[in-house]
Amino acid sequence: MSWWEKEQLRISAVQYKSETTESDVIFDEYVSKAGFNIEQNVHLLTVGFIGSYIEAEHGKKLDEYLKKTKKAGVREIIYTNIHCMNEELCREHPEFKLLDKDKEPIMAYNGTYNFLCINGPYFQEHLKNIRGLCSHDIDGIFLDGPIMRPDACYCEHCLKKFEEMYGKSRYEATYFESAEFNMKMATEFVKATNEEVKKINPEILLYINNTLLKPDIVGVRGRETAPYLDIVGTEGGFVWVDKSTTLWHVSPLVKMAETIAYGKQRVCFIAGDCKPWSYHMHTPCETDILYGQTLAYGANVWYGLHGGYVQGSTPSGKAAEAFNRFMEENEDNLLGTKSTSKVALFWSDATATRYATSVDETDFIQSAVETGENEQLKGNQFTSFKGMYDILTRGHIQFDLVDEESFKRDECSGYDLIILTTAACMSEEVAEKIREYVKNGGKIIATFDTGLYDETCKQRENFILSDVFGASFKTVHQYDPGCGYQIVNFKNPLFDGIYEENIPLPLLSVETKINSDAEILGYARMPMQGRYLHIEKETYPSVIYNKFGKGECLYIGAAVGEFFDKYGNADWKKIILSSVKGFSAPVIETDAPGSVEVSLRKKEGKLLLHLINVTGEMIRPIERIIPLNNISFKLNGIANVKSVKTMRGKENLKFENSDSLTFTLPQLNNHEIIEIIL
């Protein structure tokens, strides 16, 4: 096993060095004292932010620095920028620039740096510097990038490669051809770098900041690059916090990293600063949340300071240091854990790429954008996913994430239930895998226009999974807010806990024709012309239950995920959670509020129950987390328990155990992990 497979990764990344600061000071005063065992180093290569390793310029300095870090027992990973370049490098190598259709350079970070093209002369220069870097006693290399935007590149090298691959000019390319080309080029770049590194020294770690849960708009696709990387990274902790920021920003990205990693270590990049303000730190509470969510799904931590090492002495920096110490003390319990989930939420890459969706702001996407076309009445794949993720997390459902590749590789048979939320674009291959999963006893919940489009976003006449849904597509109805209602079927347990006959209907809803064997569980009313009119009496089936083979399907015609993401409707949350629990017996039952994130991980001989308390004062950034008292837990199907102990409080908890485990946690502050010895 290589070193990164055996060790916990607590990575320091001081991303900025002032003109008056020496690298030795950064290491001596911060890195070596803040609980890190690894440093990802850019400050040795630059003054400011942007630096790339150049053997002739940095080799000797690196050797001297390594003497210090080796003596201190800190591993060194060297940062290499492969997405943009500073003014000096631009002057020396104008041929390295990424160009738009008009042959104008494309700028990064508000126009302060030039994006790099990885297809031109820069590629060989990069490999030369990688070879030089690998000749030193380093532990790893981090590639910051590559980035290939869909509106680029139109340099002579990209134009030639595109024409060779597609048989036409890039100027004639569709948006999706350009995106596909860039993805292939970025993957080849990472693969070539990996081959160069491993040829020289297989014990040098190589990784990048993968793009996950986004359409292919920056070239890098996590599924494609992961085989050529030693660990899978995600910038889940680079958070552009505002009042609308989801409470679970890190968690889905870390979960998806686990899905594509196939047992490799994962790392979550956490920026200490409150994006986009590099010189302004998160609150300590926000830092605790980012760390806690990272650990809750088995990932390691990269912690970056973008305003200089002095930020490490701020309250937020000290909160990170305290978490580092906690990780170090509990390394055995945190390393090598696995999911216990029997439920999965489906992420559709095809829908994200081709269908109408939105993309959050990141360092490489300077403002929130929407992709895909919306000439028909479509949902929003990303907000649908966020809404459903929110419901499941608030309901303390233990769930993983899966995608098309998960089905293609036959990795889904172990789940009781898979949820398909506005998974509009679906290939025949994936549909057949889902059909087989249900036929063999699996259960699915599908919403809105799942499977109504092929993988290129061409609309079909009917759902490709119509036989599984028990319903055929007729039309989509659009509702103005206040003008649509779902009728509650009080006789069906799906609607338990709902006390009004009419609840708000999501603003997009599919009308279907029911197959003969399907059962109608609920009806939606036709759209009203205005909200202050008599309620519509005409209805259509909107919630359909169908048995298919040995399995079952619940089809909900409404765009529930999008609706909950915007409106947070409590009744639809109840419906979804009721259906999930009906299809898969809950692993955990608790009276904790929905603002406590719960993750149950397993390791040989024990279970680890992660609790992240995000109960703040109803605004973000969160300044204060409200302590919670006397939270009860029941873990179903857990027998032969020897002890239950809090890892932070180091308190042995009283418990009862027969075919399930029950106990009470006296107090939950920001974060806790409960160790259950079997």
The pLDDT score that the predictor gives to residue 93 is 86
Residue span of the structural domain in which 289 resides? 3-98+106-150+184-335
Q: Is residue 267 part of a domain?
A: yes
Question: Average pLDDT, stretch 346-350?
Answer: 96
- Can you give the pTM of this predicted structure? 0.95
The two tokens of residue 189 are 């770049």
pLDDT value at 371 more than 90: no
Alpha-carbon distance values, 508 to 13, 22, 379, 449, 465 (Å): 45, 58, 7, 10, 20
168 domain residue, yes or no: no
Angle at 294 between CA 247 and CA 274, to 5 degrees: 55
Positions of E strands within 298-361: 300-305, 338-339, 343-346, 357-359
pLDDT value at residue 376: 66
Whether 164 maps to a domain, the answer reads: no
Decide: helix, strand or coil at residue 525: strand
What pLDDT sits at residue 428?
A: 98
Tell whether 270 and 379 lie within a shared domain. no
Q: How many domains does the chain have?
A: 3
486 and 540, same domain (yes or no): yes
User: Which residues does 394 contact at the CB level (< 8 Å), separation at least 6?
Assistant: 573, 594, 595
Q: How many CA atoms lie within 13 A of 255 on its CB side?
A: 26
Q: Give the 3-state secondary structure of residue 198.
A: helix
- Determine, yes or no, domain membership for 389: yes
pLDDT digits (tens, 9 = 90+) for 372-396: 555 568 999 999 999 999 999 999 9
Per the listing, tokens 């920096």 go with 317
Q: Give dist(CA 157, CA 420) in Å, integer.
A: 41
Sign (positive or negative) of CA dihedral 365, 367, 373, 376? positive
pLDDT tens per residue across span 394-420? 999 999 999 999 999 999 999 999 999
The answer on 416 and 452 residing in a single domain is: yes
Same domain assignment for residues 144 and 252: yes
CATH number of residue 599's parent domain: 2.60.40.1180
Give the tens place of pLDDT for each residue, 230-283: 999 999 999 998 888 999 999 999 999 999 999 999 999 999 999 999 999 999
Q: Give the CATH number of the domain where residue 539 resides.
A: 3.40.50.880
Domain boundary residue, one of 550, 583, 616: 583
CATH of the domain at 45: 3.20.20.70
- What is each CA distance from 651 to 592, 598, 664, in whole angstroms? 19, 19, 12
Phi-psi region of 636 (alpha: psi -120 to 50; beta: other; left: phi over 0): beta
Q: Confirm whether 355 is domain-assigned.
A: yes
Question: Are 604 and 555 in a shared domain?
Answer: no
Final residue before a domain boundary, out of 583, 602, 631? 583
Give yes or no: residues 296 and 348 share one domain: no
569 and 658 co-located in one domain: no
Residues 595, 668 within the same domain:
yes
Is the residue at 538 inside a domain?
A: yes
Residues 291 and 362 in one domain: no
pLDDT tens, 454-469?
Answer: 999 999 999 999 999 9
Tokens of 125: 């220069």
Mark whether 128 and 261 lie in a shared domain: yes
- Find, among 264, 265, 262, 233, the residue nearest to 250 by Cα: 233
Last residue in a domain, options 583, 602, 624: 583
Tokens coding 551: 């399995």
Closest of 266, 224, 271 to residue 249, by C-alpha: 271
Q: What is the pLDDT at residue 188?
A: 96
What is the band of 218 on the pLDDT scale with cuts at 50, 70, 90? confident
| The residue type at 122 | Y
Tell whether the model's pLDDT for residue 117 goes beyond 90. yes
| 219 lies in the same domain as 316 | yes
**Tens digits of residue pLDDT in 66-107:** 999 999 999 999 999 998 887 777 788 888 888 999 999 888
Residue 173 lies in a domain: no
Identity at 376, one-letter amino acid code = Q
Is residue 35 in a domain? yes
Q: Is 455 in the same domain as 561?
A: yes
Encode burial over 479-508: b for 16+ CB neighbours within 10 A, e otherwise.
beeebbbbbbbeeeebbeebeeeebbbbbb
The yes-or-no verdict on residue 360 having pLDDT over 60 is: no
